Amino acid sequence: MESLELVNTLIFVGAALVLIGIFSSLVATRFGAPLLLVFLVVGMLAGEDGPGGIVFDNYRVTYLVGSIALSIILFDGGLRTRFSVFRGVLAPSMLLATAGVVITAAITGVAGMWVLDLAPVEALLLGAIVASTDAAAVFFLLRTGGLRLQSRVGSTLEIESGTNDPIAVFLVIVLTEYLLSDHSMSGWLVALHIGQQAVIGAAAGICGGLALVWVLNRIQMPGGLHPLFVVASAVLISSATSLAQGSGLLAVYIAGLVMANRPTRAYPSIVGFHDAVTWLCQIVMFLVLGLLVTPSALWDFALPGIVIALVLTFVARPAAVWACLGPFGFERNEKLFVSWVGLRGAVSIFLAAIPTLAGVTDGAVYFNIAFFVVLLSLAGQGSTLTKAAHWFGVALKKTTPSRSRIEIDIPGQTAQEIVGYAVTGDSVILGLSRMPAWARQLMVVRKTQILDPPTAGPLRAGDYCYFLVPRERLPRLDSLFRTSPDVARRLGFMFGELPIRGESRIGEVAAFYGLDFGAADPKTTIADWAAKTLGAKPALDARISLPGAQFVVRKLESGRVASLGLQLNELLRVEPDESLLRRLEEEADELGPLRRWVGRLHPRRPSSPRNDGS
């Protein structure tokens, strides 16, 4: 019975720690404290030196928890990444994720030799442990802070953070094996081992991702099993790849990437479930790491830990960023911000457990130094991430739209999704006269009323609208519903509805906009023409279609049409692309981006020779 009581106690303590961490994070966010740091501190307080008094020193369990959690977190990172993100930043990102990790490890290793009097290989091992940025920490803090970055900076950080962990794992495992082999491992064997890890990891990730998509689309499962199947498969891909001597973390990230860019059944429910599971993995991983550390032992490593953290933050990381991003034309403020976002998190502490598990001499030194570096990184860089983005001018004013995804399980329709958006007064979409042709509007909820699109008319602030959209177009539609008053206002110059006064003559409007009013008298006013077309009592938002355009009644005075809105079909066929939206957000020039974009669509024709009689 005592063993049963112990199990129940462990379950109670574990659930209580998770709940304490959640509620503590809600309080901490009001003071700007990074959430991951809160979970770490809660774990330390529950440990042997804290009020909880729990003695926990099992590195094997820590490694097990870390492996499962990181597999799920990295799969989730790939699951949210579209191939379009790689456009234009793949080379600098991959260089930073590979050569950048080596440069960071080497410079940090030199500091380790000086501060801790380590041998060169031991110092390089310490540098490799803390060399990689933590994808979980970086994007966890970006998402919770609601921060939106300039496209090139955000994409570079996203790709680098998701792909540099495997390189750090390569280095740590190889250097650990080298130390255990009494320095007898040759250089070509090290290179061969690294290449093997990369090739097997990439191949396993591609095959695993394609297999996942195939099973989900071909095999019928009860609805609730799809997300569980994906989570279990992600862990299986990671562990199977590691057993095959490949990089499990690289494999699971690529598998998620493949799945994100293929039509997949139950994708919305899978992503929604992964939100919750990723949160749980973050909480559990940091609580366990907090329990494992002994705060009293950290004081012995305070001075060397501070020195190594400072060298890593202000020397090693910037040197790697300048060396890798300099050739690609990144601006100084962009490189400064990327340098500052070199957050260290659970990956570093997870890697620090490997030498201890393998039996490397003085393994506790690596763990304590890594923990100290992570603690300082989360407290310093983590708490200033949003301020740094604004300080260096890489943060955008736009905010991510509130979007709900609804799964439709119709045979042959895995590429379509139903999505809903809230429309605010500053939504970009209000700058356009009509929705893009590929977004099929289903309904609008306006002041508790459910309206069909013809009845609802143009979207208004406060609406909530639903669309049927191809999955590959979702990021595009997201960009149109984000909040950015500058973009909405500037788009209205060209893509908004054109106001036409009721007393305007048909002939004048036809000549200016190239419209065909048929047999109508050119001297007739637009108001009289609309009244004759619509009947004796025209209604607001009533529409009149012409070849290439349509008019919408916008204002009535004493039952008579006072003004109409003109919507040109050309504005629907030629919609503003993401590059234009990004320039409108990032540039101060009001009309310059619009002029350049129009010029790109309509190249200037060569002028005809002047007939000046010469």
Determine the Cα–Cα distance for residues 34 and 42; give it in Å rounded to an integer: 13
Residue 602 gets which letter from DSSP?
S
CB-hemisphere CA count at 13 Å for 114? Answer: 10
Q: Which pLDDT band holds residue 56 (cuts at 50, 70, 90)?
A: confident
Distances (CA, A) of 427 to 355, 480, 520, 551, 555: 52, 7, 38, 23, 23
What is the mean pLDDT of the segment spanning 247-265?
A: 86
pLDDT at residue 222 above 70? yes
| Domain end marker among 459, 489, 519 | 489
- 335 in the same domain as 413: no
Does 161 reside within a domain? yes
Largest CA distance in the chain: 112
Which CATH number do you get for residue 583? 3.30.465.10
Q: What is the separation of C-alpha 87 from the centre of its chain, rounded to a whole number of angstroms?
A: 15
Task: Please list the residues that pair with 47 across neighbouring strands.
Answer: 54
Residues 290 and 43: their CA atoms lie apart, in Å, by 4
- Residue 192 sits in the same domain as residue 151: yes
pLDDT confidence of residue 185: 62
Residue 102 φ/ψ, nearest 5 degrees: -65, -45
472 located within any domain = yes
> Cα–Cα distance between 8 and 588 in angstroms, integer?
61
SS3 label, residue 553: strand
Domain of 116, CATH number, reads 1.20.1530.20
pLDDT bin (cut points 50, 70, 90) of residue 429 is confident
* Average pLDDT value for residue range 320-344: 89
Specify the number of domains making up the chain: 3
Q: How many CB atoms lie within 10 A of CB 381?
A: 23
Answer whether residue 436 is part of any domain.
yes
More confident call, 526 vs 406: 526
Give the integer Cα–Cα distance in Å for 399 and 423. 12
Flag whether 609 is in a domain.
no
Band of the pLDDT at 207, cuts 50, 70, 90? very high
pLDDT in tens, 551-596: 888 788 877 888 887 877 665 555 665 666 666 655 555 555 555 6
From 468, 489, 510, give the residue that closes a domain: 489
Q: What is the value of pTM for the model shown? A: 0.67
Mean confidence (pLDDT) of the chain: 78
Distances (CA, A) of 512 to 409, 498, 516, 562: 49, 12, 11, 20
Phi, psi angle pair for 106, to nearest 5°: -65, -45
Alpha carbon dihedral 105, 110, 113, 118, in 10-degree steps, equals 30
Q: What is the pLDDT of residues 264-322, one digit of tens each?
A: 877 777 887 887 787 788 778 888 888 887 777 777 788 888 899 999 999 999 999 99
What percentage of the chain exceeds 70 in pLDDT?
78
- In-domain check, residue 139: yes
Asked whether residue 416 is domain-assigned, the answer is yes
Q: How many CA atoms lie within 13 A of 352 on its CB side?
A: 27
Query: Which residues are 552's β-sheet partners?
Result: 543, 565
Strands 543-546 and 464-470: unpaired
Query: Is residue 109 pLDDT above 50, yes or no?
Result: yes
Reading phi first (left if > 0) and then psi (alpha if -120 to 50, else beta), residue 448 is in: left
| Encoded tokens for 120 | 């060169």
Domain annotation covers residue 536: yes
| Rounded Cα distance, 485 and 555, in Å | 25
In this model, does residue 122 exceed pLDDT 70? yes
608, pLDDT greater than 60: no
Which range scores top for mean pLDDT: 88-97, 234-243, 474-483, 491-500?
234-243
Task: Give the CATH number, domain containing residue 430.
Answer: 3.30.70.1450
- Same-domain check for residues 458 and 531: no
Angle at Cα 99 formed by Cα 59 and Cα 142, nearest 5°? Answer: 65
Residues 132 and 26: their CA atoms lie apart, in Å, by 28
CA distance linking residue 234 with residue 209, whole number of Å? 9
136/85 Cα distance (integer angstroms): 18
Q: What's the full length of the chain, in residues?
A: 614
Q: Where is the domain boundary, 458, 489, 520?
A: 489
Work out the average pLDDT over 313-336.
91
452 lies in the same domain as 504: no
Structural domain containing residue 481: 403-489
Is pLDDT of 493 > 60? no
Q: CA 258 to CA 211: how far, in whole Å? A: 10
